[in-house]
Amino acid sequence: MKDMSVFALFSTLGALLAIALGVMFPALAMGRAISRALDALARQPEAEKSILRALFIGLAMVESLAIYVLVIVLIVLFRNPLLAYLLK
Amino acid sequence: MEPSLVIFRIGALLVTSTVVMTWGIMAVIVLVCWLGTRHLKQSPDRWQSALEGVVLTMQQAIEDIAPGKSPSLLPFVGSLWIYLVFANLAGLVPGLHSPTGQLSVTSGLAILVFLATHWFGIRASGWLPYLKHYVQPNPILLPFNVISEISRTLALAVRLFGNIMSLEMAALLVLLVAGLLVPVPLLMLHVVEALVQAYIFGVLALVYIAGGLEAHADGGSPS
């Protein structure tokens, strides 16, 4: 039983830490991207369409990093493949 | 994350609720298009104007990214857009789940995009010029080009799946913690996010295909 509580403690801690870091850095990157896009928009308002399109694609790219972290965290929390070894 | 329910089976083939849901969405789209295009007229009525507006908007969006290529790309990319809008929004209807919340569905779509990239690229420039763009700046870059080809397909699948699945899961968790009507703001976010993700998936498919089409023109690797 001790193994089980250690396992639960560490997987929860790991998941929380992973999602915290994994959201923090993409957020910084998205902030940079948006601020640059607004700069470009202020300089060249007539290029709005292409700037916004590039911004959306870039944001989706950055956002998918956070989504990867989320998927891995969910796997660790709900479908941990290592749990099978512990229960054996 | 849960595997979808098995509704019935044909031999060894399991037909899950996701597949039935996709059939339903296809039936709705086909019905709307059939009703809207039954009596095409020079001076369009309401349905025809709406459908023409949708098609023209998609055509314009494709022209902006790949000029002059919209006749050949519109059927594929437009179908992706329309299907994804319906599929992503289907999760908002009580009792239904988005088919795109399953990794197998989004993987299937991403594999289609992967194959379409090569199909359009080879048709545009022929086998050898197309394959040559993998070794284009330098043969040392061949493994990196191949890895980027695979990783962007994986990213396409996981991005859509993760977004839709996490939105549904977030609404469910808030419902468990807080109670009735509290997840409504999250569902509003779901509407915005569903539309944005449908747009992003289509645009990325378009950008990849346009990269494949231009493989012989500039010799650069598609980013």
**Cβ-Cβ contacts under 8 Å, B158 against chain A:** 64, 67-68, 71
| DSSP result, A29-73 | HHHHHHHHHHHHHHH-GGGHHHHHHHHHHHHHHHHHHHHHHHHHH
Distance CA B142, CA B199 (A): 31
According to DSSP, the residues that pair with B15 across neighbouring strands are B8
Contact A71/B at CB under 8 A: yes
Give the residue from chain A lying closest to B152, CA to CA: A61
Of residues B203, B219, B222, the one with CA closest to residue B125? B219
Whether the Cβ atoms of residue B97 and residue B91 lie closer than 8 Å to each other: yes
Whether the Cβ atoms of residue B62 and residue B1 lie closer than 8 Å to each other: no
**């991005």: which residue's tokens?**
B159
Contact A57/B at CB under 8 A: yes
Output the pLDDT for position B97: 85
Of residues A77, A72, A76, A69, the one with CA closest to residue A22? A69
Which two three-digit tokens encode residue A6? 């250690």
**Cβ-Cβ contacts under 8 Å, A63 against chain B:** 159, 163
pTM, whole model, 2 decimals? Answer: 0.83
Distance CA A73, CA B14 (A): 29
Please report the number of interchain residue pairs, chain A to chain B, with beta-carbon separation below 8 angstroms.
Answer: 41
pLDDT over 70 at A24, yes or no: yes
Q: Is the ipTM of this complex over 0.90?
A: no
Contact A70/B at CB under 8 A: yes
* Residue B56: alpha-carbon gap to chain centroid: 18
Output the pLDDT for position B81: 94
Asked if B159 and A60 come within 8 Å (Cβ–Cβ), the reply is yes
Distance CA A57, CA B181 (A): 33
Q: Which residue has the higher pLDDT, A26 or A77?
A: A26
Contact A64/B at CB under 8 A: yes
Contact A56/B at CB under 8 A: yes
Distance CA B100, CA B108 (A): 10
Contact A27/B at CB under 8 A: no
**Cβ-Cβ contacts under 8 Å, B148 against chain A:** none
Output the pLDDT for position B53: 92
| pLDDT by 10s per residue, chain B, length 223 | 455 677 777 777 888 888 889 999 999 999 998 888 887 888 878 888 889 999 999 999 999 888 888 888 999 999 999 999 999 999 888 888 889 988 899 999 999 999 999 999 888 888 888 888 888 777 888 888 889 889 989 989 999 999 898 888 888 888 888 878 888 888 888 898 899 899 999 999 999 998 888 866 554 444 4
pLDDT interval class at A43 (50, 70, 90): very high
B79-111 as b/e: b if 16+ CB within 10 A: ebbbbbbbbbbbbbeeeebbbbbbbebbbebbe
Output the CA angle B184-B190-B193, nearest 5 degrees. Answer: 150
Asked if A49 and B64 come within 8 Å (Cβ–Cβ), the reply is yes
Which two three-digit tokens encode residue B159? 């991005």
Whether the Cβ atoms of residue B107 and residue B194 lie closer than 8 Å to each other: no
Give the residue from chain B lying closest to A71, CA to CA: B162
Closest CB to A67 among B64, B65, B159: B159
Of residues B197, B192, B210, B219, the one with CA closest to residue B63? B210
- Which residues of chain A from 36 to 55 reach within 8 Å of chain B, CB to CB? 49-50, 53
Whether the Cβ atoms of residue B201 and residue B156 lie closer than 8 Å to each other: yes
The structural domains of chain B, with segments of one domain joined by +, span 6-218
Asked if A57 and B200 come within 8 Å (Cβ–Cβ), the reply is yes
